[in-house]
Structures are given as structure tokens and as C-alpha cells.
Structure 1
């Protein structure tokens, strides 16, 4: 199984953020599309990228054409410290000038099952499609220590076969409910950027890159856009165990 298109390794996290920022600038500036749809990752990984975009490159990105979506969200209110949306507001959205209608948040405070359906319908209505699935121009993904990505966890690999665009997932340890985009939508993107930094991710990265048996248990291993490009942006610590 071909698990990656391109791997770029940088000396430190700041250089990873810079490289992704420059890639986003290039793709959005060169695009003739009226609307450019980007699905964002949650967790800690993108904070540095969001700071870089809003502090250094804010004037180089056509925000009026960018529509932001989320790959997943924890089932909490939008002002909760665990909310992916709140983190994005704090580090990016509050520092740039973007039309409010360009922000498509997952309502973590809503009934999870109903919200998965609502968000799925919003994607169908707003996004381009290829085959029966919606298409994101770019999806930015992170990698958990356990190999999860978006909110597809190792015990829920069936979400790569799920017919729906969104599903309700559950964190295997805390039991917290989350809403996630499913594998069919993730693998329908035009571009996927994996943003992975830190030595705590090195074992999972090596398993995936070395195509080991252990990798077949990891959701991130199954990210392979059928009609798009996959780029891994790693720092040296995350890449340190690749053989």
C-alpha cells in the first residue's frame, strides 16, 4: 500500500509551520476558484501554524475566498478549552479579517448524532463533489500518539468504510464523544497535509513510513487520497526513527 506521496523533514517545528504556511499561500494565491475549502485539524499541533499564518502571513492570503471547516470536533461548547473551534478562534480567526459566513464550525454543544447529520448536509450543500463524496481543497491533519487522525481511533477503523460524510466517534480512553469526518471524505481531498512534530510521534511515524505490520492498526496509515496529493510535514524529532 502506497502510504505517502511526499515527505518533507525540517529541523524544528517552526520550520514545519513556515513550510505549510507557504504552501497554503501558494495554493490559495494560484487558485482561480471563487471559494477555497480548507478543513482544519484540532489538538495542539496546529497552534504554531495558526500563529504563523495570523502574525506573519495574514496579508498574503485571500481570506475572503477561504472557507474553513473542521476535520473533527469534541462534543463540548464553543467556549470550552477543549473545543477545536475555540483554539482556532484564539490562535487564528480572531487575528484575521474573514467573513463570518466563511466559517463552518461543527456545533460540539449540539446532539452529536443530529450534528453529524447536519454537518454532513452542510458539506454536501457547500462543497464540490467527486463521485458521491464532497471534496476539500486542503485537509490539514494531525497524528495522535496512538496513530489516530481526525477523530478516527484505532478501535474504529470501520469509519474508513462509513457511507456518511460525518460520524460520531468516541475517545477509547476518556469515552468523550466527538464528531469526525469519515475516511471516504478524507481520502477524497485534493491535498492532505499531515502536520506532525515531536519525538512522541516518532514511533508511529516510523511504523507508517516503514510500512510495518503494526501500521495496519493505525488510522493514519489509511490516509491515501485517491485523486489528490499527500504531503507529510515532519520535524526531525518526529522523523527520527524512520529506517
Structure 2
């Protein structure tokens, strides 16, 4: 059964998630020597990363060795690399560049002005990156924590209700005709999302209350 944690407002939610994320990654490093996190975009997701960066500069009970953290993304907008819509760009500004995560541990999904003209090719490449990082005999690496936001209509990552991606069993899929712009995206599928050790769904705001209640 999922654990449901309710905070009084977005500020408390961001603070609680950031502190829990630092603790969870530190614990993973104690056990495995490294940690792995799958990031999300959106207002709350980015605010959490900003708060984690602040915690990294403060004396806290747990500390994370950011040189030993692998960073992945649950989804990405298929737009140019420097587009403000890119989840990667927001994450780099909020956290990754601040704490110095090594470039070879940042596993970004390809942008539309990268080596792949079609999102299907970008999705296949990212699936290959996941498989390359997986232990022998597995298709996916270990994800200690996978962060997700949710839209008012209930979408997570870039999987919208009634989208073909919702029933696609591939680990990474191209998503076209998204009802929310930008319309073309690349997303982990549910097979990859559900493989994580822990999935944290971060939802705030009255506009999303109905979707939360339905879930």
C-alpha cells in the first residue's frame, strides 16, 4: 500500500520532500556506495531541487556525495537543448550545476536539436542508456527514488490519460499529440517507473485535488 503524507501547504511539502530526498540518497550511498534518482519537472519538482541545493550548503544530519549520484529523468519535452521548457535545463540551474554532479552521471534525454530528429529514435537511445547502466541480466539500473509530479487531469511523467503510452510496455516511449504543450515528448513508461525502489508522487494545489481523490 502507498504511504500518503499530507502537508499544510506547498512550502512545507517542498521542505519535507527535499529533506527526505537527501536522507534517502545518503542512505543508498551507505548501502551501495552510489545513489540513483529520477527527476521530474514542474513547479514543485524544481522547487524541491532548489531546496536540496540549499540543504547541501547547510550542516544537516545526512550528507550526499554528489559525485556518486546518477541522475535520470522520468520524462522530457522534445524541444531544443536551451529551451526553458526543458526539464534538464531547470534541474541543472536548480541543483546539478550547484552541487557539481559529474557530467558522466547526468543522463539527460536527447533534445530536438540533438542527434535525433524523431522522438522515437530519442526514446530508443535512452532505453539503450538505461540498459547499458543496468546490472548483468537486467534492462534497467537501480533507481533509489523516482520523483513524479501530476497534472490536473492526472498525467504523470508525460503519460496522459487515454494516451497510447499508458499501455505501452517499453521502458521509454515517444509521446506525440500531448494535450498540454509542448505536444511532443519522451517519457519513461510504466515498466520503468514501477521498477524504482521508491516512487514519490508530489502533488500540490486545489486544481489537482480531484485527480488525487480519483487516484
TM-score, length basis structure 1: 0.77
The match for 1:164 is: 170
CA distance in 1, matches of 2:147, 2:109: 16
Correspondence for 1:155: 162
**For residue 23 of structure 1, what is the aligned residue in structure 2?**
20
Counterpart residue number, 2:88: 85
**Distance in 2 (alpha carbons) for counterparts of 1:85 and 1:133:** 20
How far is the alpha carbon of 1:159 from its aligned partner?
A: 2.6
* Number of equivalent positions: 204
Give the structure, 1 or 2, with the largest relative contact order (CA under 8 Å, sep 6 or more).
1
Q: Secondary structure at the match of 1:73?
A: strand
Cα offset, 1:161, TM superposition: 3.7
Q: Structure 1 unaligned runs (5+)?
A: 209-243
1:162 to partner: Cα distance: 2.3
Conserved? CA contact 1:155–1:172, under 8 Å: no
Query: Does residue 5 in structure 1 map to residue 2 in structure 2?
Result: yes
Distance 1:16 1:127 in 2: 32
Note the C-alpha offset of 1:135.
3.8
Q: CA RMSD in A?
A: 2.0
Quote the offset at 1:92 in angstroms.
1.3
Higher strand share: 1
Residues 171-204 of structure 1: per-residue CA shift (max 9 Å, x gap) = 1254711000001111111000111111111111
Is 2:65 aligned against 1:71?
Answer: no
Aligned to 1:127: 134
**Secondary structure, counterpart of 2:44 in structure 1:** coil
Instruction: Flag the 1:26–1:84 CA change in 2: closer, same or farther, 3 A.
Output: same
C-alpha contact (below 8 Å) 1:160/1:184 kept by paired residues = no
**Structure 2 CA distance, aligned partners of 1:54 and 1:113?**
33
Distance in 2 separating the partners of 1:201 and 1:43: 13
SS of 1:37's partner is: strand
Alignment pair present for 1:115 and 2:117? no
- CA shift for structure 1 position 137: 1.5
Query: Partner residue of 1:195?
Result: 202
Correspondence 1:52 to 2:55:
no
